A and B are shown apart, each in its own frame.
Chain A
């Protein structure tokens, strides 16, 4: 019974997180896009940038709404399903979540009202400020969430005494070794995910020759951001991998389906593809690239890479999910870089012009069908991160099975089923309504905002 309860609680948290994550990924990126567009609008006075802010804000509001709706149950699931985890780690994980709620989420939600409905009620400056607060709140949220999550990966500043986790140094616990890279990696992931979401929507309109001017402008902003972000993300991924090797070697070994530590003065081969078999503690079959794992993991030819068999079986994470998810993520990362470079090439050849752009059907179709790429890559990364941490809920300190509530399995199974049904419906409806917004296209004719006159203006 106990065993089943853990699995149900894990499944429920996984389902809620996987679904919830889609929306904040997008709302962090869209909020930054809206700041860029509003700054351009106020600087240039070019109406099209105002229309850009309004158009993308419609998608932002929908995204934010579903994000809040799907995220609030997550905040309370620590208590409903993981009460023993909460009781022992509330003094750090709970603290950091309280920082998230009070410093960032509250900011984002309050100023969102001004940003969305305040165009004719506040001054220009106040409106831009509200927009920036929304974006700042969204990104700061990600920071605190990642602080809590990365503490569970690399629990610093804590001692365990008689089964109780005591935090000895709060600064060390907050700024734990995994935090800098974990936050940067996911923050850049939100930007890249949004970039391909927005880029795909642009592609959809440009193929159909609708509002080409409007969407080419957005697309060019996306390409400029992409030139920085796509290569940066690959570099950050590599750094993140090095952090994992250093602090969570079992996770690193599972990611690469690497069972055996290479003996001194030999090199570890990199396994490109395999069929990992946990019972045999080996792969049923594998395709290897000699030397490669030593090079990737240690950046040297004969570096020592620890294999999974060095860990007792009860301390090993499941191998297949992190192994495959990792490969999909990396592949998508390079695919997105390729699409950005292709777009730069098109721009360079002067193919991103209103007259000529719609002709490149293949190019735009690639961008259109790349809409899920960022989402998928991030989800895969998250699976690597969370499944790879198992069997620990707090790495090396508390096992997942020790953290679960004593809720009876039937009740938990019912709520799990409801979560799956409701969240799947939500995703379906979100896609449906996003499609409707997309088909309607931007509003290019409504009156410009009047803003509230600030006293200095009235003298004119």
Chain B
């Protein structure tokens, strides 16, 4: 029972984190891809992000706060040891958000379109290096990070970061295929194939590096039940990649590549979590060590835990209100102000 609450909260942390990565990942991926195209296409691509990216970014805020409340030790150690990528990530999100807002009201749409893409790129690189940096044997002594500010930067973390970047581009392209029509759709089918192939290659590289380079990982993977689970997850991820590639070249379904990309993300999450279990920060801090005291976790259940299903419920409602293909740059329309100057 003592073990149950930290694990349950770990699950409640994984859910919003995964939702953030999948839902906002597509938005960020679209942003990155928008850097590769011209202004008129960029507008159409951005309309695929639609009005929901705030709701998607909510999951980051929820996950961050749960991390702080339920796993304060991990929250402090992770963010202070990965200070630089965390700041890159946050500044990237700032650029992204304000570019969307200013772009609506500005005549310099190209400029804000560019800063939007740049913000997305920074946010994704930041995320990639946070993820990769966690596998850099961060030095932790008595609940505090004691290493240097650049400990997160190495070949492994760089490969992981580029892999994350390709995967986000993949899910972004899949979302554009899902949400738009015409030549944007055709162009993004090609981008989708490219990014999915790159992500698959990098994924395989990372798996080999992890398995050979990190003794604790191979130990965990050879334990039961991981020895059975990991091949299943590995198969899911690779299968997801292959299906994304296969379905993206076919003209039939526009939704399928997006769904298979999501399978890749979910599979990778499962693979990673079970692959480092029971560690929170690989090989130095366990889930139980990182957790808040029992009383705090119970208190949080009332305020935040029970709310999560409600949030998911109304977010499904909101996503349904805006389901389907976007038409005519609806997100760009802005009726509140008079568009003819005095």
For residue B215, CB closer than 8 A to chain A, the reply is: no
Per-position binary interface string of chain A over residues 108-141, scored 1 when its CB falls under 8 Å from any chain B CB and 0 otherwise: 0111111011100110000000000000000000
Asked whether A407 and B91 contact (CB < 8 A) given A87-B73, A95-B69, the answer is: no
B91 close to A418 (CB less than 8 A): yes
> Which A63-79 residues have C-beta < 8 A from chain B?
64-66, 68-70, 72-73, 75-76, 78-79
The reply to whether A111 and B299 form a contact with Cβ atoms under 8 Å apart is: no
For the complex, what is the distance from the CA of A111 to the CA of B317, rounded to whole Å?
10
Asked, given contacts A86-B68, A436-B105, A443-B336, whether A422 binds B91 with beta carbons under 8 Å apart, the answer is: yes
CB of A300 within 8 Å of the partner chain: no
Smallest Cβ-Cβ distance to A122: which chain B residue: B321
Q: Is B213 an interface residue (CB 8 A)?
A: no
Given A109-B55, A111-B318, A433-B102, verify A55-B80 contact (CB < 8 Å).
no
Q: From residue 127 to 160 of chain B, which have CB atoms closer than 8 A to chain A? A: 143-146, 148-149
Contacts of B212 in A (CB 8 A): none
B1 at the interface (CB under 8 A from A): no
Cβ-based interface call for A346 (8 A) = no
User: Is the beta-carbon distance between B144 and A84 smaller than 8 angstroms?
Assistant: yes
Interface flags, B198-241, vs A, CB<8A=1, else 0: 00000000000000000000000000000000000000000000
**Chain A 83-99 interface residues, beta-carbon cutoff 8 Å to B:** 83-84, 86-99
Interface size on B, residues (CB 8 A): 74
Which residue from B87, B101, B307, B308 sits with its C-beta under 8 Å from A65?
B101
Instruction: State A157–B222 Cα separation when bound (angstroms).
Output: 46
- Closest chain-B Cβ to A127's Cβ sits at a distance in Å of 11
Given contacts A84-B144, A170-B295, A422-B91, contact A94 B338 (CB under 8 A): no
B98 A95 Cβ-Cβ under 8 A: no
A68 touching B69 in the complex, CB below 8 Å, given contacts A80-B86, A426-B98: no
- A241 within 8 Å of B by Cβ? no
Q: Taking the nearest CB of chain A, how far is it from the CB of B238, in angstroms? A: 33
With A90-B75, A440-B339 known to touch, is A106 a contact of B58 (CB < 8 Å)?
A: yes
Residue B296 CB within 8 A of the other chain: yes
Contact status of A408 and B149, CB under 8 A, knowing A78-B68, A102-B311: yes
Q: Which residues of chain B come closer than 8 Å to A344, judged between CB atoms? A: none
Is the Cβ of B87 less than 8 Å from the Cβ of A80? Answer: yes
Residue numbers in B under 8 Å from A96 (CB-CB): 69, 303
Which of B51, B100, B307 meets A117, CB within 8 Å? B51
**Is B18 engaged at the interface, CB distance under 8 Å to the other chain?**
no
Within 8 A of A (CB), among B72-110: 72-73, 75-80, 83-84, 86-87, 90-91, 93-94, 96-98, 100-102, 105-106
Contact B300 A439 (CB under 8 A): no
Using A61-B101, A98-B65 as known contacts, say yes or no to A167 and B295 having CB atoms under 8 A apart: yes
With both beta carbons as reference points, the residue of chain A lying nearest to B300 in the complex is identified as A95
Q: Which of B189-197, B250-258, B327-335 contacts A (4 or more CB under 8 A)?
A: B327-335
Q: A69-B93, A415-B83 are in contact. List 11 more A-B contacts (CB 8 A).
A: A66-B98, A79-B78, A83-B79, A83-B80, A90-B76, A109-B54, A110-B318, A113-B55, A118-B321, A433-B106, A442-B338
Q: B259 CB to closest chain A CB, in angstroms?
A: 22
- Does A44 sit at the interface, judged by CB under 8 A? no
Contact check, B311 vs A106: say whether CB atoms are below 8 A apart.
Answer: yes
Inter-subunit contact A94/B322 (CB<8 Å): no
Q: How far is the CB of B57 from chain A (nearest CB, A)?
A: 7
Q: In the docked arrangement, what's the CA distance between A407 and B143, Å? A: 14
Contacts of B78 in A (CB 8 A): 79
Counting CB contacts under 8 A, is A405 at the interface?
Answer: yes
A86 in complex: contacting residue of B52, B72, B311, CB < 8 Å? B72
> Using a CB-CB cutoff of 8 Å, which residues 47-68 of chain A contact chain B?
54-58, 61-62, 64-66, 68
CA distance A93 to B101 in the complex (A): 31
Q: Give the distance in Å from the alpha carbon of A439 to the alpha carbon of B342 in the complex.
A: 8
Q: Is A450 an interface residue (CB 8 A)?
A: no
A301 within 8 A of B: no
Tell me, rounded to whole Å, the shortest Cβ–Cβ distance linking A173 to chain B: 9
Of the listed residues A57, A109, A116, the one surrounded by the most CB atoms of chain B closer than 10 A to its CB is: A109
Known contacts A61-B101, A101-B64; decide if A87 and B83 are in contact (CB<8 Å): no
Residues of A contacting B98 in the complex (Cβ-Cβ under 8 angstroms): 65-66, 69, 426, 429
**B58 and A97 form a contact (CB under 8 A):** no
In the complex, A113→B314 CA distance in Å?
12
Q: Which 7 A-B pairs have the closest CB atoms?
A: A90-B72, A83-B76, A79-B79, A94-B69, A94-B68, A58-B336, A69-B97
Docked CA distance A407–B314 (Å) = 40
User: What residues on A are CB-neighbors of B61 within 8 Å?
Assistant: 72, 75, 101, 105-106
Kindly state whether residue A166 has any CB partner on chain B within 8 Å: yes
Tell me if B94 and A98 are in contact (CB < 8 A).
no
A117 touches B330 (CB 8 A): yes
B304 at the interface (CB under 8 A from A): yes
Contacts of A372 in B (CB 8 A): none
- Kindly provide the distance from the CB of B53 to the nearest chain A CB, expressed in whole angstroms: 9
Q: Is A218 at the interface (CB under 8 A from chain B)?
A: no
Q: Tell me the A366-423 residues at the B interface (CB within 8 Å).
A: 405-408, 410-412, 415, 418, 422
Interface residue B66 (Cβ < 8 Å from any Cβ of A): yes
Does B341 sit at the interface, judged by CB under 8 A?
yes
Q: Which residue of A lies closest to B147 (CB)?
A: A406
A176 contacts the other chain (CB 8 A): no
Contacts of A112 in B (CB 8 A): 54-55
In the docked arrangement, what's the CA distance between A100 and B69, Å? 11
Task: Tell which of A72, A116, A405 touches B76, judged by Cβ atoms closer than 8 Å.
Answer: A405
Distance (whole angstroms) from the CB of A449 to the closest CB of chain B: 9
CA distance A137 to B122 in the complex (A): 30
Interface contact A55-B91, CB-CB below 8 Å: no
In Å, the complex CA distance between A66 and B102 comes to 10
Q: How far apart sit A299 and B59, CA to CA, in the bound complex (Å)?
A: 49
Residues of B near A69 (CB, < 8 A) are 93-94, 96-98, 101
User: In the assembled complex, which residues on chain B have CB atoms less than 8 Å from the CB atom of A440?
Assistant: 337-339, 341-342
- Is B315 an interface residue when CB atoms closer than 8 A count as contact? yes
Report if A437 contacts B (CB, 8 A).
yes
Q: Is B60 an interface residue (CB 8 A)?
A: yes
A444 within 8 A of B: yes
